[in-house]
Amino acid sequence: MPVKKQLVHFLAFLIPLTLVLAACTPAATMPPAGTVAPAPNASRAPSVTVPPAPSATAAPSALHFAVIGDFGEGSQGEADVAALIHGWNPDFVITVGDDNYPSGAADTIDAHIGQYYHDYISPYKGTYGPGASENRFFPTLGNHDWLTAGAQPYMDYFTLPGNGRYYEFAAGPVHFFALDSDEHEPDGVGKSSIQAGWFKKAIAASTSTWNVVYFHHAPYSSGAVHGNTTWMQWPFKDWGASVVLTGHEHTYERLLVDGLTYFVNGVGGGPIYNFGTPLPESQFRYDADYGAMLITATPAEMDFAFYDRKGELIDSTKLTRP
C-alpha cells in the first residue's frame, strides 16, 4: 500500500481513539468534593478534609461567607484556618479585626494577609500571586491595626467602600455594616458618636432581609483578658441589627443579649486566650483550638456554624425570618 494511503488509514484510526481517551480522563483542575484546595501557603498547611458545609443542600441563590478574627500573625494557626476557608470556597470573607499583628505595620501586612487571602482581594497590591477580579475581602480595623499612625498601612492596602474605616455593602439577602470600634477612630465609637449616627441612619434605610453588623471589640464577652467593651454596647437590636459579629477576645463565644445574638470569633491565628466567669447571656464557649465561622443566608433563614481548623463542627445555630 502506498505510504500516503497508509498514513491516511493510521490517522483515521488515531483521531477517534484520542477522543475516547480524552472523554475518559478526569478533569485535573476540579478537586474532589469536600477536600481542601491548596492554600496560598500549602507547603505550610497540613492536609485537612472539610465536611460538607451546613448549607450544602441550600438553594443555589444562598449567600455563603466566612468570618475570621484576630488572625494576622503569619502563624500555623492562621495557615490552617486559611486552608479551611479555601476548602469552603465562600462568596467572600469578612474579618472582625486585628488583621496585622503586632502593630499594623506596612512591612508585615502582605505576609500576614495577602499571603493567605490574596485571591479574595481586589485590587491586590502584594506579591503572593494574582488577586481577585472583584473584591471579596471585607475587613474591619482592630486595635493592633491602629498601632501604626492613622492605620495607614491598612488604608493603603485595601480599597473599601465608604471611608474605609467604617462602611456598608449589600450582597444577596444581607446588608453588611462594618464598624470601627477602636478608640482611635476620628468619628468616635460611643453610641452618640458621628460614626454611630451614620450607622443608625444607614441601617434604618436598609431594605435587606438581614442586617449583619461586625467590628472588633466585643460588647459582651466572658473572656478572661478583655471581657466586655462597654463603649460598643450600642442599642443594635433597637436600631435594626439581626446579628453582631466581633473579635478582640481570642476565644469563640455565642451570646444572646436582650434577644439579639452576638458572636465573639477571635481564634483566627493569634494566641488563644482563656475564659473567665461566664456571663449569664453566654450560650456556648470554646477556647480549645483555632477556627472560623461559615455563615449561610437565604431570604428565609441564616445559618451560623463554627468549625475548628481540622474541619470539625464545634457550634451551630440558626435564625429564621420573623
Q: Strand, helix or coil at 12?
A: helix
> Looking at residues 171-175, what average pLDDT do you find?
97
Which one is predicted more confidently, 51 or 276? 276
- Answer yes or no: is pLDDT of 144 > 60: yes
* Number of Cα atoms under 13 Å in the Cβ half of residue 194: 7
Pair 90, 66: CB distance under 8 Å: yes
Q: How far is CA 33 from the centre of its chain?
A: 21
> Looking at residues 27-49, what average pLDDT do you find?
33
In angstroms, the CA 199 to CA 264 distance is: 21
Residue whose entry in the numeric block shows the C-alpha cell 499594623: 104
Which pLDDT band, with edges at 50, 70 and 90, does 230 fall under?
A: very high
| Top-level class of domain 3-320 | alpha beta
Cell matching residue 290: 483555632
- Global pTM value: 0.82
Q: Determine what percent of the chain is predicted with pLDDT higher than 90.
A: 81
Which pLDDT band, with edges at 50, 70 and 90, does 59 fall under?
A: low
Q: How many helices (H) and strands (E) does the chain have?
A: 7, 13
Q: Determine what percent of the chain is predicted with pLDDT higher than 70.
A: 81
Residue spans of beta strands (DSSP E) within the chain: 63-68, 92-95, 137-138, 167-171, 174-178, 210-217, 243-247, 252-257, 260-265, 282-286, 291-297, 301-308, 313-320
Cell matching residue 138: 471585607
What pLDDT does 61 receive? 79
What pLDDT does 308 receive? 98
What pLDDT does 223 receive? 97
